[in-house]
Amino acid sequence: MSVAPKREDYDVVVIGAGPAGLAAAATSAEAGLATLLLDENIGPGGQVFRAISSTPVTDRNQLGTDYWVGADLVQALRAGNAEVIHRATVWSLDRNLDIAVSIGGASAFVKAKRVILATGALERPFPIPGWTLPGVMTAGAAQTMLKSSALVPDGRTVIAGQGPLLWLLAAQILRLGGRIDRILDTTERGNYVAALPHAFAFLTSPYFTKGLSMMREVKAKVQVVSGITELAASGDGQLASVSYVAGGKRETIPADLLLLHQGVVPNVNLAMAAGVEHRWDDLQLCWSPVLDASGSSSVAGIAIAGDGAGIGGANAAVVRGRIAARAAVEALTPAAAAKLPAMATLRSDLAKAERGRVFLDTLFRPAPQFRIPAGDTIVCRCEEVTAKDVLDSVAIGATGPNQLKAYRRTGMGPCQGRLCGLTVTELMAQARGKTPQEIGYYRLRAPVKPITLAELAAVPKSEDDVKAVVRG
Amino acid sequence: MFKRSEQDKRPPVQIFVDGVAVAARQGDTVSAALLASGVDARRSTAVSGAPRLPYCMMGVCFDCLVTIDGVGNRQGCLVPVAEGMRIEIQKGKREIGR
């Protein structure tokens, strides 16, 4: 069932079949370039358009029109000649544009003239006390189950956090007959004032009216508590209750399911492992790659499109995918670029899609206490390292995330820092009185997802490869 | 914790969780099928033995690790169910040879 790539060399390899990757691969193939699209999931769509070709939620109003845009992108891709492989996990990309990909338990290797990384975003860590308890999940996790399997919460459910996805998810759960007992809004009061100067751009963006009507839809059915300043999950081996402080008053409510969300951040692992330069983004509070206007990174031949290039949302991701693909076409077969929409048109599409983003980033900037935990709260879920452990290590000389590995193994578990990296950087920066940029991030390396030694050992080897490592 | 929407008309798929037959649907991931089934699907961590369930459902958190058809440490959220699939809730770290 698993199919290896048909060729060893491609003009363009796109990694990730979300909004950016679908658009990039379709554009590249349309221009006649040999295009390979590799994606880790079962089908196309990434997270925003998850299960777009297979969702059992067939009533179009329930997932909303913004979701079904994804079907057009998939159709455009399928109309062309791009080779598409799902359940394909790329575990290495280097400066020579050599790619290693694990498909069905075996690794294949391909080389590209241009690589477009469309590895998207993941939800920002939400390290509150008890966030590792069974019954605590991300809002995105619930949305994934809703889209791909029409599953909705039916126990006592609390949604906590902030940001557009939280309200969209709540609306979708209610439309499908699911249960939400309470929404705890963690947006800081001061953010409303800070965001005000950017409000005009947002008022004229398509997100404004949609967002407002969705919040109205949810608030009519669910009790919403705003101004949450503390949040904790507790239970013995399973979530039993959620406690919070709002307006100085503490309340504890029984719960079977707690869904957390405080925005999304670029999924940087593959790009960083390939050597792409990243910088700390003070507005979005995450690492973003350093890119030119076409999405080209500091590594020749590697471009980044979509939310992996800095959070911009699905509409911006689609346009960034087209821009990165057009730049690849211009570089490889300039004549074919004439068939594609002009770069100026694409850039104006992008400006439109990004309108209002600064407002959202400012309004939904997560509060420090939900980013930088204290005491026994777990920071690194894989190695079960607490905030106190990290601070103790700083006190005896750990200077940054990489030194911390030697002290505590943070970031060395299977998730490779995806769920703790930002927390560790900000926690250490605060403890040492430095900026996150000065503290830095984990040094990421291939394999960016775990593969077995057996799979590595089964990789075809030339005589030279064997000579290089065998003694005598 | 989760229930299936009535509009879901996908064909059933039977899987076995620690030897017990469980009804899933075609297109479910292993993790989604486990969470929908109501069985106690909590794994225990390799470090402290703490109980965990899937957290992200999108392949980044590794809290869905599970033994599938005799192979340990599989990310259940990335693997679709198949008829007759044998799932074991993984307690602790992966064992040598599986």
Tell me: the pLDDT tens digits for A96-130? 999 999 999 999 999 999 999 999 999 999 999 99
Residue A30: what are its φ and ψ, rounded to 5°?
Answer: -60, -35
> What pLDDT is recorded for position A3?
87
Whether residue A148 and residue B28 make contact (CB cut-off 8 A), yes or no, is yes
Q: Rounded to whole angstroms, how far apart are CA atoms A53 and A39?
A: 14
Whether residue A137 and residue B55 make contact (CB cut-off 8 A), yes or no, is yes
Number of other CB atoms surrounding residue A405 within 10 Å: 18
Q: Which of B33, B42, B62 sits opposite A134 (nearest CB)?
A: B42
pLDDT above 70 covers what percent of chain A? 99
Kindly state the DSSP code that residue A338 receives in the 8-state scheme.
G
> What pLDDT is recorded for position A472?
67
Q: Which of B3, B7, B25 sits opposite A59 (nearest CB)?
A: B7
- Over 70: is that where the pLDDT of A1 sits? no
Both tokens of A198, joined, read 């950017």
Q: Which of A41, A57, A132 sits opposite B7 (nearest CB)?
A: A57
Q: Are A127 and A378 in contact (CB under 8 A)?
A: yes
- Over 90: is that where the pLDDT of B95 sits? no
Give yes or no for B61 touching A (CB within 8 A): yes
Provide DSSP, A60-121: HHHH-HHHHHHHHHHHHHHHS--EEESSEEEEEE-TT-EEEEEETTEEEEEEEEEEEE---E
Whether residue B73 and residue A382 make contact (CB cut-off 8 A), yes or no, is no
- Provide, as residue numbers in chain B, all residues whose Cβ is less than 8 Å from the Cβ of A177: 5-6
Residue A256: what are its φ and ψ, rounded to 5°?
Answer: -100, -25
- Provide, as residue numbers in chain B, all residues whose Cβ is less than 8 Å from the Cβ of A178: 3
- Provide, as residue numbers in chain B, all residues whose Cβ is less than 8 Å from the Cβ of A267: 60
Cβ contacts from A onto B, under 8 A: 136
Whether residue A153 and residue B1 make contact (CB cut-off 8 A), yes or no, is yes
Task: Report CA-CA distances (Å) from A296 to A138, A312, A320.
Answer: 31, 17, 11
Both tokens of A192, joined, read 């409303």
- Provide, as residue numbers in chain A, all residues whose Cβ is less than 8 Å from the Cβ of B62: 382, 413-415
Quick one: CA dihedral A312, A313, A319, A323, positive or negative?
positive
Mean pLDDT, residues A414-441: 98
| Each residue's pLDDT tens digit, A283-338 | 999 999 999 999 999 999 999 999 999 999 999 999 999 999 999 999 999 999 99
- Over 90: is that where the pLDDT of A422 sits? yes
Whether residue B47 and residue A141 make contact (CB cut-off 8 A), yes or no, is no
Q: Under 8 Å CB-to-CB from A365, ≥6 apart: which residues?
A: A188, A191, A194, A283, A285
Q: Which of B53, B65, B80 sits opposite A42 (nearest CB)?
A: B80
User: Chain B residue with minimal CA distance to A236?
Assistant: B51
Residue A334's SS3 state is helix
Mutate to test the interface with A, among B44, B56, B66 (most CBs of A within 10 A): B56
User: Chain A residue with minimal CA distance to B1?
Assistant: A155
Whether residue A122 and residue B28 make contact (CB cut-off 8 A), yes or no, is no
> What pLDDT is recorded for position A373?
98
> What pLDDT is recorded for position A211?
86
Q: Which of B77, B20, B97 is nearest to A414 (CA)?
A: B77
Q: Rounded to whole angstroms, how far apart are CA atoms A265 and A288?
A: 9
Mean pLDDT, residues A238-247: 98
Number of other CB atoms surrounding residue A190 within 10 Å: 10
User: Chain A residue with minimal CA distance to B37?
Assistant: A151
Q: Which of A17, A107, A61 is nearest to A318 (CA)?
A: A17
Name the average pLDDT for chain A. 96
| Each residue's pLDDT tens digit, A352-361 | 999 999 999 9
- Provide, as residue numbers in chain A, all residues whose Cβ is less than 8 Å from the Cβ of B25: 56, 149
Whether residue B36 and residue A149 make contact (CB cut-off 8 A), yes or no, is yes
Residue B13's SS3 state is strand
- Over 90: is that where the pLDDT of A77 sits? yes
Mean pLDDT, residues B58-81: 97
Q: Which position has the token pair 């990174």? A: A297
> What pLDDT is recorded for position A471?
80
- Provide, as residue numbers in chain A, all residues whose Cβ is less than 8 Å from the Cβ of B74: none
| Each residue's pLDDT tens digit, A3-51 | 899 999 999 999 999 999 999 999 999 999 999 999 999 999 999 999 9
Whether residue A256 and residue B1 make contact (CB cut-off 8 A), yes or no, is yes
> What pLDDT is recorded for position A72?
97
Whether residue B5 and residue A176 make contact (CB cut-off 8 A), yes or no, is yes
> What pLDDT is recorded for position A412?
96
- Provide, as residue numbers in chain B, all residues whose Cβ is less than 8 Å from the Cβ of A413: 62
Q: Rounded to whole angstroms, how far apart are CA atoms A467 and A111?
A: 23
Q: Which position has the token pair 């950016």? A: A20
